[in-house]
Structure 1
Amino acid sequence: MNFIDNSSILIVNDIDATLSEILPCYPLHSVRVIKNEEKEEFLLLQATLAIKEAYIASSEKKYIFLCGTTFRKEAQNSLLKILEEPPKNVVFIIITNSKSSLLPTIYSRLPYKYLKKSILKAESLLDLNKLDLKDIYNFLKDNQKISKNEAKDIVETILIKVNNQKIKLSRNQLEFFSKAIKLLELNSRPINVLTTLLLSLANQKNKH
């Protein structure tokens, strides 16, 4: 990945992998990485730390990386002013998994680079008519670190495949697709939601 010298937003598949790739491009003393070590969500605490760090004077450029799968609304609102008028020599680089994790007021302030690669290729290999535990295990293993928005895309794609392959589902199973989207919106772990959904489909297949 190329050196980024201006405040930007990076939309990526894997935040940690992106950091591992990009940080060696920068002088070690000029970089600050701010993320929530306990959860994937960027909270008001992290925003406050970022603002304090930005106002620590530096004669050289300082690169502050703000990382989160999702960004809490109040955290974003607290960052608005400093993103619009950053202190001298400060560059903010936001790294996240999805454009939809950011408020339009944030997104409109900074240029962005869309660096995501398609993660749905594994899903396209799933044959729902022949789904077994091995298929499910391999699929979940390949997609264990996806974001909630990527998981929502997969849920919707699987539902399209159900219709294309003319798989008959019970009302409860059909309702679980909409329930899965709601669970993901409530920040349930994507891997857990997808596991339940795929096991339900496998059980349905075994009944026929």
Structure 2
Amino acid sequence: MLNEKIDNSCILIVNDIETSLNELIRNYSSHSIRIIKNEEKDEFLLIQATQAIKEAYIASNEKKYIFLCGTTFRKEAQNSLLKVLEEPPRNIVFIIITNSKSSILPTIYSRIPYKYLKTSVLRNELLLDLNKLDLKDIYNFLKENQKISKNDAKEIVELILLKVNSLNLKLTKQELELFSNAIKLLDLNSRPLNVLTTLLLSLSNNSNK
């Protein structure tokens, strides 16, 4: 999919935004693309939306592809884009790249089709031996999932807890609370990698007792 030129507006849900963007733009001439993202953090804000709208209304005799990239998209940013997404100016194609389907509002999905291109990160969790977690296992797992989305991280936390139960691992009340705390922290937009690191290191300490 990313080895082909996309000619119509769409939403791409991918594992890694930067890698996917770099693969995709190879299919376009450099003068025909505009990449709009927040250079300071992964959140697409109103300022980026305003920039995208201005770019869309700069007339072009050839197709212009505007890439909107972000791990999360602020609600007000999406709302400001609604009109231009629904009725884009002539020769304008919007391609939204994100790694979380839930970060895009239903009103955006109603205007632009989406393609789910993510491969499951959860296969890596199954390789973790919770009976004997060592630092090398944890390091490799975290390295593979360093740009994991909030929702995928929540799913991994839940799956690890299920695996703990299926293996009949004995956890203290404090250790069990780590799971609920991890979900709460993710809901509060704590960095997923930090949350998973804390959880896995705690489980490692338990398994090596």
TM-score (norm 2): 0.95
| Range moving further from structure 2, 162-171 or 35-44 | 162-171
Q: CA-to-partner distance for each residue in 1:34-90, whole Å, 9 max, x for gaps?
A: 001110111111101001111111111110000001111111111111111111111
Matched, 1:109 2:105: no
Q: CA-to-partner distance for each residue in 1:173-195, whole Å, 9 max, x for gaps?
A: 22221221121122211111001
Gaps spanning 5+ residues in structure 1: where?
Answer: none
Partner of 2:34: 32
| Range moving further from structure 2, 158-167 or 140-149 | 140-149
Partner of 2:177: 175
The 3-state SS of whatever aligns with 1:13 is: coil
Partner of 1:90: 92
Q: Hey, what's the Cα distance between the residues in 2 that align with 1:139 and 1:152?
A: 15
* Equivalent residue for 1:21, pick from 7, 20, 23: 23
**Cα shift at 1:172:** 2.0
The 3-state SS of whatever aligns with 1:64 is: strand
Partner of 2:164: 162
**Cα shift at 1:206:** 2.8
Aligned length: 207
Q: CA-to-partner distance for each residue in 1:78-120, whole Å, 9 max, x for gaps?
A: 1111111111111100000011011111112111111111211
Gaps spanning 5+ residues in structure 2: where?
Answer: none
Partner of 1:71: 73
Percent identity (aligned): 76
Structure 2 contact 10–112 (Cα < 8 Å) conserved: yes
Letter in 1 for 2:42: E
**Cα shift at 1:169:** 1.5
Runs of 4+ in 1 over 3 A off after TM superposition: none
Q: CA-to-partner distance for each residue in 1:148-167, whole Å, 9 max, x for gaps?
A: 12211211111111111111
Letter in 1 for 2:188: L
**RMSD between aligned alpha carbons?**
1.1
